Amino acid sequence: MTLALNGEEIGKKLAEAFPAAVVSSDKLNVLVDSKHLQPVAEYLKNTSGLEFDYLTFVTATDYLDYLEIVYRLVSLKNNHSLILKTRCHTRDNPVVPTVVNTWRAAYYQEREIFDLLGIRFEGHPDMRRLLLWEGFQGHPLRRDYL
């Protein structure tokens, strides 16, 4: 079984390494501040015992008050997984740092999120629409898009 790691424990570990990074954590997931996302990602990937070398999916959900980005990390070596979240509280031109440099798997998925939810990933090498055409207005997967 891929062990779903307890978010609270990981949250504590992260809080030691990056005191300001962890916003909250519960059994299922860890919510980090988007400003610290890149160092946290590097930490999760390279710390022994965690070694999240495999990013399964990146997606985002529009909760109207905020946009939440979800990362599911898996360690192929230790066979455990973690759900990492980050939030962005603006709806006009929200920006989140990219994790492409840590996990290349995010390459298309971040482009897709930009396309469908309008979250710009800073530092992404090719931030363009993926599924819809270039002149498309709006971001369809937002809840207020009709």
Partner 1 sequence: MPIKTEPFYLNIGPQHPSTHGVFRLRVALDGEVVVGVEPIIGYLHRGIEKLAETRTYTQTIPFTDRLDYLSSMTNNLAYCLAVEKLGGLKVPERAEYIRVIFSEIMRISSHMMAVGFFLNDLGAMMTPVLYMWREREKIMDMFEMVCGQRLLYNYMRIGGVSQNLPDDFMPAVKKFLAEMPKYIDEYDQLLAQNEILLARSKGVGILSKDTAIGIGASGPVLRASGVKWDIRKMDPYSIYERFDFEVPTGDTGDCYDRYWVRMLEIRQSVRILEQAIAQIPEKGAVCADVPQFFRPPRGEAYGYLEGPKGNIGFYIVSDGSIAPYRLHIYPPTLINITALSDMVIGWKVADLIIIFGSIDVVLGEIDR
- Binding residues (CB under 8 A) for partner 1: these are 1-2, 53-57, 59, 61-62, 70, 72, 76, 79, 83, 103-105, 107-109, 116, 129-133, 140-141
CB of 2 to partner 1, least distance (A): 4
What is the Cα–Cα distance from 60 to 5, expressed in whole angstroms?
21
- Comparing CB distances to partner 1, the nearer of 2 and 20 is 2
DSSP label at residue 106: H
Return the closest-CA partner of residue 54 out of 36, 32, 72, 27.
72
CB of 16 to partner 1, least distance (A): 27
- Comparing CB distances to partner 1, the nearer of 15 and 130 is 130
